[in-house]
Amino acid sequence: MIGIAVLGAGRIGKIHAANVAANPKAKLVAIADPFADAVNPLAERLGTEAMSDCMAAIERPDVDAVVIGTPTDTHVSLLLHAVKLGKAVLCEKPIDLDMAKSEEAAAEVERQNGRVMLAFNRRFDSTFAEMRKAIDAGRIGDVRQVIISSRDPGMPPESYVKTSGGIFRDMTIHDLDIARWLLGEEPVTVTAVGSRLIDPSLRQYDDYDTAMVILQTASGRQAHINNCREAVYGYDQRIEVFGATGMLVQDNLRPTTMRVWTAEATDAREPLLNFFLERYTQAYRAELDAFVDALSDDTEMPTTVRDGVKALRLAECAVESVRTGRAVTV
Ligand SMILES: NC(=O)c1ccc[n+]([C@@H]2O[C@H](COP(=O)([O-])OP(=O)(O)OC[C@H]3O[C@@H](n4cnc5c(N)ncnc54)[C@H](O)[C@@H]3O)[C@@H](O)[C@H]2O)c1
């Protein structure tokens, strides 16, 4: 059994803790969070120990690995402490909002041969993973274009926006990772536009609510990412991959496949799954299981801190492109 402590008992910590508890090869040894109101009920529900000190949780002898789901500005110190003690880590995205700090952390992890996986959950979504498999199987020939539409159901609260690092580092980062993964080549240029169509006050945070990014690889492969913080019809998550001999499309998921014909509407379907916790339930579970499998089988981590650095670098380029109005070389 791999002893795991989950750090952070907020939105994402709750998901990870439940998934650790459900994994037959892992034991949820503790959940740590300085806020008792967050950690106590969760630990009680999952039958594990609640702790207030994340560093102390990392240091426990019965902890082999930690899952970091604390606020972004705490990731690097927790990550490096765990690696120093030889503990494996599943770290939430982004590593940090600062590029240099993320680079240094990744270099330190690599220097110490740390076992660190970066939590890019969408790669573990079964529908998107099927696209990667179809590309690998040669079903659409060489990839030419990847088109990702990724829109949230509604604006996050101002308290979140303030510390999020902006739409590109907070939201687009998932799509940038998926684009790298499906393109199969590293982007070399980034062009982006950003608008404030929902909330003009985002200007004070140098942030945007609506954005488009275009990536191009050295051989000329292209990716186009559409983001918006508000889609009135729900959480919109679609991908198209166009290749030399065909195309792959993954549409939004619904609670069931039911379609309804009435006098009011034909072929009506249920609303989209509401937000990331519902839409990516299976992906979070598969991500955690992949982390545990990599540890128990002693195989490569499926995603790495380097993936985290590369996605953040693309986000930085997007920010620069919006500011300058130019294509930015990665
Ligand atoms: N992969 C994904 O889909 C995804 C989704 C949501 C959030 N995230 C990432 O997960 C992280 C947490 O986000 P969230 O939405 O769960 O936040 P949250 O605010 O819901 O939860 C954070 C938790 O950390 C605790 N905390 C606060 N300060 C702390 C400290 N100094 N040390 C330890 N714990 C502290 C809080 O009490 C809270 O319970 C962020 O880095 C975010 O980017 C990833």
Range of the domain at 317: 123-297+307-329
- The answer to whether residue 302 sits within a structural domain is no
Check residue 96 and give its pLDDT: 95
CA gap 55, 85 in Å, rounded: 11
Let me know: does 108 contact 89? Beta carbons within 8 Å: no
Q: What confidence tier does 59 reach under pLDDT thresholds 50, 70, 90?
A: very high
From 87, 119, 151, the end of a domain falls on 119
Q: What confidence tier does 204 reach under pLDDT thresholds 50, 70, 90?
A: very high
From 6, 7, 11, the mutation candidate for ligand 1 (largest count of ligand atoms within 8 A of CB) is 11
Instruction: Tell me how far the alpha carbon of residue 287 lies from the centroid of ligand 1, in angstroms.
Output: 17
290 and 198, same structural domain? Answer: yes
pLDDT per position as a tens digit, 154-200: 999 999 999 999 999 999 999 999 999 999 999 999 999 999 999 99
Q: Has residue 18 got a pLDDT over 90? A: yes
129 and 115, same structural domain? Answer: no
- The answer to whether residue 149 sits within a structural domain is yes
Q: Which string of DSSP letters, residue by residue, matches 140-173?
A: T-SEEEEEEEEE-SSPPPHHHHHHH--HIIIIIH
Percentage of the residues of the chain whose pLDDT score is greater than 70: 100
Instruction: Tell me how far the alpha carbon of residue 71 lies from the centroid of ligand 1, in angstroms.
Output: 4
From 67, 89, 119, the end of a domain falls on 119
* Ligand 1 nearest atom to the CA of residue 280, by list position: 3
Q: How many domains would you assign to the chain?
A: 2
pLDDT per position as a tens digit, 77-115: 999 999 999 999 999 999 999 999 999 999 999 999 999
Q: Has residue 293 got a pLDDT over 90? A: yes
108 and 69, same structural domain? Answer: yes
Check residue 75 and give its pLDDT: 97
143 and 282, same structural domain? Answer: yes
CB atoms within 10 A of CB 6: 35
Check residue 274 and give its pLDDT: 85
Instruction: Tell me how far the alpha carbon of residue 162 lies from the centroid of ligand 1, in angstroms.
Output: 14
Mean pLDDT of 267-283: 93
237 and 142, same structural domain? Answer: yes
Instruction: Tell me how far the alpha carbon of residue 10 lies from the centroid of ligand 1, in angstroms.
Output: 5
Instruction: Tell me how far the alpha carbon of residue 73 lies from the centroid of ligand 1, in angstroms.
Output: 10
Backbone Cα Rg of the chain: 20
Pocket around ligand 1 at a 6 A CB cut-off: 8-13, 33-35, 38, 54, 69-72, 74, 92-93, 119, 121, 276
From 6, 7, 12, 273, the mutation candidate for ligand 1 (largest count of ligand atoms within 8 A of CB) is 12
From 119, 152, 170, the end of a domain falls on 119
CA gap 303, 115 in Å, rounded: 11
* Ligand 1 nearest atom to the CA of residue 38, by list position: 39
CA gap 207, 315 in Å, rounded: 13
268 and 171, same structural domain? Answer: yes
